[in-house]
A and B are shown apart, each in its own frame.
Chain A
Amino acid sequence: NAGVTQTPKFQVLKTGQSMTLQCAQDMNHNSMYWYRQDPGMGLRLIYYSASEGTTDKGEVPNGYNVSRLNKREFSLRLESAAPSQTSVYFCASSTYPGTDTQYFGPGTRLTVL
């Protein structure tokens, strides 16, 4: 099993450009999450999907959109990148409301110039 995979690992964008971060899990988990991690602020939830076909906003959804393409894949899109979106992005999945252990992807380091 690959667990949770994310692409790309690194990305540099110019202000106003768009991009999609891809996430996939092969553990048949219902719940998937997108977080951003900034120095001194801990992990903050951007969007989550409790099951295939549903998505909900987290703490910091502005400037982002998501798609739960199927049970395996959950993508995060930045329509018009801003320097404030420079961060490390993590995708995670879990069996919640089952055992609730979260499995994280390796992260994407995004810089917006």
Chain B
Amino acid sequence: KNEVEQSPQNLTAQEGEFITINCSYSVGISALHWLQQHPGGGIVSLFMLSSGKKKHGRLIATINIQEKHSSLHITASHPRDSAVYICAVRPKPPFNTDKLIFGTGTRLQVFP
């Protein structure tokens, strides 16, 4: 079992829909990251969270440390949101804190 699990693996939506991508993890963490990888391959960091909620434009990320769970929400989805969304965690000791642990990603396609 991976330490970081994402669901769903694949997601299709119509333009304008509200989208939720989930990330669950099994280790103690100091931070959780959401990353976006576009079809061209480039990876960009969207959010880093250690508690609560962050918002950037139509993207909202939340984390519940007690439940070891994070969600990424996209409001009013648009075809340009089509990408792979990756969750990653920075573990706390006794795990190696020097490296992130990545989920396998959620592939989102938004159709007009």
A residues with a Cβ closer than 8 A to B are: 31, 33, 40-45, 48, 50, 56, 58, 88, 90, 92, 96, 99-104, 106-107, 109
B residues with a Cβ closer than 8 A to A are: 31, 33, 35, 41-45, 48, 86, 88, 90, 98-100, 102-105
Rounded to whole angstroms, the CA-CA distance of A68 and B42 in the bound complex is: 23
For the A-B complex, the count of residue pairs with Cβ-Cβ distances under 8 Å equals 49
Docked-complex contact A107 and B98, CB < 8 angstroms: no
Report which of A56, A90, A102, A107 forms a contact with B100, defined as CB distance below 8 A.
Answer: A102
Docked-complex contact B44 and A40, CB < 8 angstroms: no
Report which of A41, A43, A88, A103 forms a contact with B41, defined as CB distance below 8 A.
Answer: A88
Given contacts A100-B31, A104-B43, is CB(A48)–CB(B99) below 8 Å? yes
Given contacts A42-B86, A42-B104, is CB(A33)–CB(B99) below 8 Å? yes
Docked-complex contact A42 and B102, CB < 8 angstroms: yes
Question: Nearest A residue to B47 by beta-carbon distance?
Answer: A101
Residues of A within 8 A of B31 (CB): 100
Report which of A31, A41, A100 forms a contact with B104, defined as CB distance below 8 A.
Answer: A41
- Minimum Cβ distance to chain A for residue B87 (Å): 10
Rounded to whole angstroms, the CA-CA distance of A101 and B50 in the bound complex is: 12
- Minimum Cβ distance to chain B for residue A21 (Å): 15
Residues of B within 8 A of A100 (CB): 31, 33, 48, 90
